[in-house]
Copies of this chain bind each other. A is one copy, B any other.
Amino acid sequence: MKTKRSKGVARFSISLPSELAGQLEQMTRDKGYDNRSLAVADMIRAHLIEHRQQFGDKEIAGTITLLYDHHKQHVQAALTDTQHDHHEVIIATLHVHLDHDNCLEILAVRGKAAIIKRIADELIAARGVKHGKLTVTSTGKDLPP
């Protein structure tokens, strides 16, 4: 992961599955970016904003939505291991078999915000997970009608 830095610009290379690289090209054009680097920079900034949201001691409820191909080696075992390590905050998991390959997995969670954020990060970063999202709501106790 060599990174060249000069005049405030860092240049480095990344590897993507070819099909994903092609769809990035297409989206870059669709959205009217001058080049791929500008599009990627915008994505990174958007994710930094989400990443920095403060998650503290407060009790929250919510869902973690995961999309993955269950044929990818070890992905399901890894996800289940992580979930059982935290079975005290994961109420139940709804698994939908979208087709022969793709799984939609939805975790109903409840616990301290910081812990739930960390579990969500771990699950979403797992190899084989195509897309994941943490959706936060309240436990209702502190939310007036």
Contacts and interface: CB of A to CB of B under 8 A. Distances in A.
Q: Decide if the interface of chain A is mainly helix, strand, loop or mixed.
A: mixed
Given A65-B135, A77-B76, A141 B99 contact: yes
Nearest to A46: B131
Contacts of A101: 84, 140
Copies in the complex: 4
Contact of A144 (B17, B33, B83): B17
Sort chain A's interface into a size bin.
35 or more
16 contacts: A9-B15, A13-B13, A14-B37, A17-B145, A31-B125, A33-B125, A40-B43, A42-B132, A43-B47, A46-B133, A69-B145, A87-B100, A92-B95, A94-B95, A98-B140, A104-B137
